Structure 1
């Protein structure tokens, strides 16, 4: 409604400046009748006659002259605001507020962003680390990087690592002391390190063995649980037990030998990684550069 009112004001201003309703209509690519209707709406809004019109000419009234001066100032500000907004949206620069889970954010995203900023120094990143699932519709974040499909189907979820899965892992020291489980069914005999969502402990771990056509849902237990995914990872590295982690989060630990995969013939549940925004118009050049960079980085870990 507001933008329609500004369009009407633009028609009034153009008519006054050109001295002709038909010329104003042609310059704005609208019909004379549409221009006339717009002028009528403006006059009804201010409750005053602004332009005296005849078949051959028109002239501004005293009220119209005063109103035109304010309208020209308002349109100038609107054009400046539009151009400034478009310039931010069009250029791959500016500040980007990114919400991300603690483990992925600390151990992968943060060093990746350091690398990105060496080639794109115009990037300004505000990194919000939390295992609380951000609501990009309500919270002051531009994008969220999260595992799993967003429950709100109105949000735009762009896949970064669609084939990522959870895997069982433990430190070599723990395996040397406690032995390695042969199947996920043996986990009931091991100390398992659990992640918490709010007050709910994620203690039901799902697995699939395609070769044996076996599917298992195991309820595990252990002496350590945390609502911080990075804390669970650190416990696993220190040898406290077996963890059920996103493979992305621990790929570097597996390569360095800090952790080893357990029951590798069994697939854990799918944990796709997504870049989430509230509206498709938020996929600005800045966000697209980040998306393509992260897709490349995630592919390199698979």
Structure 2
């Protein structure tokens, strides 16, 4: 007979590709995780993992069975939640990871209002442009830009239609002129973003379904997206930013969208959790608050 604990450890080991990390997360010894997996394999009469001294990976049979195991755990968790008595869960500590620009200029106000609404809750907020590993880092939820195809964690969409836009301050445009074509961008000072040594100085823009790639000249670059936004507002050059990051600057006139007929890269915003069990009432309410703010800004974007 299958044990629920063994099933849970199998799903986590498949996500982490490590018995040691799974054991650490569950507060067990690695040998206990290995024993649980062996017991599960004996019950199923199949081998779930191909093991070596340096790697751990699912066998073809393990890959086939994994989604069924995940579905089973999710169904049990949903049933468990339905029979629990109602209670106020908006308390305790919630640890959040959020990109620097998005966090400081958009979500911080949402977090503040959320905390005032739920005074029994303590928020711990990590601002960083590095991609947070929600399985290994001490966070409950993370906000992440980009398409997330990893089924090992729970993803709650916030702004699925968010795109990048080209922006500059009115002071810069008065001093250097406003680009009227994509080729004009090459002669302007670009403010570019760098992460893990890669400089994003090739901007992709689409018009009527046709994609165009422009290699810009970096006047200033930074590995902090908030710095790039500040430099753009200060009139130091042209930036290629997520609409959510610069929406309030555009609305209040500190920045202007350049070449608005072109659509920039798609950068959907998602809130992710490492486990379904962390989709508490607190997390769901925070998701609703952030989504409401994102919806407002998406609707305010100039056509």
TM-score using structure 2 length: 0.69
Map Cα deviations across residues 169-213 of structure 1 (whole Å, 9 max, x no partner): 000010011111112232111111001111100111111112xx5
Structure 1 stretches lacking a partner, 5+ long: 5-85
Do structure 1's residue 246 and structure 2's residue 242 form an aligned pair? yes
* Higher mean displacement: 169-178 or 184-193: 184-193
Q: What CA distance in whole angstroms lies between the structure 2 residues aligned with 1:150 and 1:136?
A: 13
Task: Indicate which of 88, 91, 98 corresponds to 2:89.
Answer: 91
1:267 and 2:263 matched? yes
Which residue in 2 is equivalent to 1:152?
A: 150
Taking a change above 3 Å as real, the CA distance of residues 180 and 3 of structure 1, as seen in their structure-2 partners, is closer
Judge conservation of contact 2:164–2:242 (CA < 8 Å) in 1.
yes
**Partner residue in 2 for 1:118:** 116
- Displacement of 1:155 in angstroms is 1.9
Matched residue, 1:289: 285
- Picking from 104, 107, 110, the partner of 1:106 is 104
| Separation (CA, whole Å) in 2 of partners of 1:262 and 1:2 | 56
Aligned mates of 1:197, 1:270 — CA distance in 2: 18
Match of 2:136 in 1: 138
Three-state SS of the structure 2 residue aligned to 1:108 is helix
Q: CA deviation at 1:107?
A: 0.9
- Aligned to 1:164, which of 162, 165, 173? 162
Q: Tell me the secondary structure at the aligned position of residue 110 of structure 1.
A: helix
Q: How does 1:1-302 map to 2 (within 5 A)?
A: 91-150=89-148, 152-210=150-208, 213-302=209-298
User: Which moves more between the two structures, 124-133 or 218-227?
Assistant: 218-227
The answer to whether the 8 A contact 2:154-2:273 is kept is yes
- Secondary structure in 2 matching 1:222: strand
Which portions of structure 1, spanning 4 or more consecutive aligned residues, are displaced by more than 6 angstroms? 1-4, 86-90
Aligned residues: 220
Q: Cα distance 1:90–1:120, how it changes in 2: closer, same or farther (>3 A)?
A: closer
Separation in 1 of the partners of 2:239 and 2:220?
Answer: 10
Task: Flag the structure with larger Rg.
Answer: 1
Structure 2, unpaired ranges of 5+:
7-83, 299-303
- Give the Å deviation of 1:150: 3.2
